[in-house]
Each structure stands twice: as structure tokens, then as C-alpha cells.
Chain A
Amino acid sequence: MKLPAEATLRMVATFVAAFGIGVATYITIADSGGGAPACIAGGSGCQTVADSIYSHLLGVNIAVLGIVGYALLLVAALLRGDTARMAGFGLSLVGFGYSVYLTYLELFKIEAICQWCVASAVLMTVLFGLNALRMLAYVGRPA
């Protein structure tokens, strides 16, 4: 099977990371107003998740951490070379791992699903896949 060109992987990762910044920014703005992101299909899952103690880490809304994470992934996707490849892989691995943990919390601790958090988890999973492929296929090779 022919692997996609690194430029293609970087371009897709750039778009996904930019989309992720949008999603995380929306969650941050909705929460900072004392409310919660609006669930597209109604329901109160987003309110329940936003009101839970897990929505903040050391006093910081985790959506803000999400914005920072996606922004760093965007930079890693825009840059060439092994440093960017490894940084993109490492960052997306942390983001993916944390998304797995947050999804676990939603399902088993908070017992509510927020569609925006799921959207972010999906985007982070895609970014992890793209960055893992970029690292496996191109690390140690000329940019």
C-alpha cells in the first residue's frame, strides 16, 4: 500500500488542528458564561459535563488546555523535520490519552455525554493517527 505523502499528512493535520481549536474555543466561551455548550440534538449532557468537577484541572477549564494543545499541534503540522514529527506525535499521543480518559469519565463517572467533547475526542484521535503515520513513515528521513 502506498503511504500518503508527508505533505498531505501535514496539510490534513493542519486543517484538523484548526478545527479542533474552533471546537475547544466554543466550549471555553460557552463555559465562561456560566453555561455549557449547546447540545446539537438537545438534552443536558453538555451542562452536566460542564458542571462536573472534571471540567477543570487545577482551576483551569480543560477546554483551554485543549486550545493550547490543538495550537501546538497546528504548529507541529506546519513545520518540517524530525523535531516537528516527534513533537506532533508526542503531543497528539498525550491529547489522545487524555481524550480516552475524559471519555471514560463521561461514560462511567459523570454518566453524561457531551457531543462537543466527543467531537474533540474524535478530532484528537484523527490527529494522533495522522501524526503516528507521519512519524512511523518519515522520521529520520529528509524533510
Chain B
Amino acid sequence: MSASEGRRRVLLQLGSAAVFLAIVAVAVLIVVSANQTSGGDVSLEDVGAVKRELRGIPQSGLVLGDPRSKVTLYEFGDLKCPVCKAFSEGIVPEVIDSKVRGGEAKIGFKSFTIIDAESAPAGAAAIAAGAQGRGWSFIELFYRNQGLETSHYVNDEFLTAIARGAGVPDIGAWNRDRKSVATLAEVKRTSEEARRLGFTGTPSFAVDGPATKGIEALGTPGSAGTLEEAIDAAG
């Protein structure tokens, strides 16, 4: 056998080995993927719409907007609350566009659990998503896929689907975070803060800025304009 034929044979053997390895790799990928069912069976609405709405706006924890903004608008909400959902689809996007996107103000979400026992784990899941820079994406996507107030849909599968849809990069860490004592305590703390501010329902809003004396309660304004005026007055 000539040297060139020998070389050809070696290269062909290498090619065959590569084909074999590729078949094994694809088979492993498919088997691993087939076993990942958690969160995969819940079909979500508006993943793209939320992505478009928040594109280009910084997220840190449960705060949306430029961290250098001096004014912060706070929403005290319950992810299971249908009125909060209506606000998140009607009024809040207007404020995001007019005040948050341009860096005039930032908006923070604080859990105020009033609906039922599923409200706290939902709020904790949002905080855990926030720890990975996807807090506001999680909140918005949760609202867009909210179930009936009286139904019990906030299970691991639903929350995982929301987290995946929101783009939480490390689902394992998010799972650990959302079940931690510290995260659940944070939900309790913000709910107590809401009561101290005199809030009795959700969503309730508050504002904090250079012209306010600490965080000032706004209640539940009926329009984006009222929230925008409060932001202007606080700046």
C-alpha cells in the first residue's frame, strides 16, 4: 500500500469515528432533552411581547430602569391579583415608556400578598428571578399568563415555565433561591411594609425621590398620568 493510500485510509477512519461520535452526541442530546419535562408542558402567552416591551431597559433585582435614576416608583402587587394584571397591561407600560425607558425614573416591584397561600411562593419566585436579572420579565410574563384568582395554578411547573420564558439562565439556582427562608422572609417583609404605608389592596403605588420625605404612598391611581405627575413631583 502506498503512503498516500495509507494516509487516505487513516483520514477515512477518522471521518468514520467522527460520524459515530456525532450519532452518539445527538442521541444523548435527544434523550436528555426528552427527560426535561419540568415546565415544558405549560404553554405561555406573550413571551415575545414581554421581551419587546422590556428590551433595552436595565433590570436589577425587582427594579426596572436606569439605577442612576433618582426617582423610584414602587408597585406593591400580588402576582395572583387580576387588577394588578390589568394595571400591568394597561397603565404600567405607559409609565415605562414615558418615564422609565428614558431614564427619568425606575420602577420597583414589591410583593404585597393578599390573595391566597400561593401569592407568597409566586412573589418569592419573582425575587429569585430578579437575583438573575430577570425579575421584571418574570413579573410581566406571570401577569400575562395569570390564571383565575380562585384557581390553584401556581405550582412548580407553572412557575418554572414562567422562569424559563422570562429567560432566567440558571433554573437550578432559581429553584433554590425561591424556596429559601431569606426569600420568603423578604416577601413577608414587603407585605408588612405595604400595610405600614396604609395599603389595603393591590396594586398600590408609592414613590421615592429627592423631593419626597422617604417613600410616599400614592394608593391606587386610576391612570398613568397620575403616576407620571407623582414621578415629576418627586424628582
Show the binding face of A for B, using Cβ within 8 Å. 34-36, 47, 50-51, 53, 56, 59, 82, 86, 89-90, 93-94, 96-98, 100-101, 104-105, 108-109, 132, 135-136, 139-141
Does the CB pair B18–A36 fall under 8 Å?
no
Which of A50, A53, A141 is packed against the most chain B CB atoms within 10 Å?
A53
Residues in B whose Cβ lies below 8 Å from that of A47: 48
B51: interface (CB < 8 Å): yes
Given contacts A34-B51, A50-B48, A51-B47, contact A86 B15 (CB under 8 A): yes
CA distance A129 to B231 in the complex (A): 62
Closest to A138 in B: B8
CB-defined contacts of B165 to chain A, threshold 8 Å: 51, 53
Does the CB pair B48–A141 fall under 8 Å? no
A contact patch SS: helix
Docked complex Cα distance between A140 and B4 (Å): 6
Name which of A93, A101, A140, A141 has the most chain B CB atoms within 10 A of its CB. Answer: A140
Closest Cβ–Cβ distance, residue B42 to chain A (whole Å): 12
Tell me which residues across on chain B come within 8 A of A53, comparing CB atoms: 164-165, 167
Indicate the size class of the contact surface on chain B. 20 to 34
- Contact yes or no, B51 A51, CB < 8 A: yes
Name the interface residues of B115-165: CB closer than 8 Å to any CB of A. Answer: 164-165
B34 contacts chain A at the CB level, 8 A cutoff:
yes
B104 to chain A, nearest CB (A): 22
B185 in contact (CB, < 8 A): no
Q: How far is the CB of A80 from chain B (nearest CB, A)?
A: 15
Contacts of B47 in A (CB 8 A): 51
**Closest CB in chain B relative to A62 CB, distance in Å:** 13
Can you show 26 pairs from A to B with CB atoms below 8 A apart?
Answer: A34-B51, A34-B55, A50-B48, A51-B165, A82-B7, A82-B11, A86-B15, A93-B19, A93-B22, A94-B22, A97-B22, A97-B25, A97-B26, A101-B26, A101-B30, A101-B33, A104-B30, A109-B33, A132-B15, A135-B15, A136-B15, A140-B5, A140-B7, A140-B9, A140-B11, A141-B8
Residues of B within 8 A of A101 (CB): 26, 29-30, 33
B164: chain A residues within 8 A (beta carbon): 53
Q: How far is the CA of A34 from the CA of B48 in the complex (A)?
A: 7
Chain A residue nearest in CB terms to B14:
A86
Contact of B12 with A by CB under 8 A: yes
The interface residues of chain B lying within 8 Å CB-to-CB of A132 are 15
Residue of A nearest to B6 (CB): A140
Considering the chains assembled together, what is the distance between the CA atoms of A136 and B9 in angstroms?
Answer: 10
Bound: A51/B137 CA distance, A? 13
CB-based contact A139/B11 at 8 Å: yes
Report if A140-B26 is in contact (Cβ < 8 Å); known contacts: A51-B165, A109-B40.
Answer: no
Residues of B within 8 A of A97 (CB): 22-23, 25-26
**Closest Cβ neighbor of B46 among chain A residues:** A51
B90 within 8 A of A: no
B52 within 8 A of A: yes
Q: Is B102 an interface residue (CB 8 A)?
A: no
Residues from chain B with a CB closer than 8 A to the CB of A51 are: 47-48, 51, 165
Contacts of B198 in A (CB 8 A): none
Indicate if the CB atoms of A34 and B52 lie closer than 8 Å: yes
Contact partner, A90, options B18, B30, B52, Cβ 8 Å: B18
Contacts of B14 in A (CB 8 A): 86
A96 to B12, CA, bound (A): 19
Given contacts A53-B164, A53-B167, A89-B18, 5 further A-B contacts (CB under 8 A): A51-B47, A59-B169, A90-B18, A93-B22, A140-B9
A139 to chain B, nearest CB (A): 5
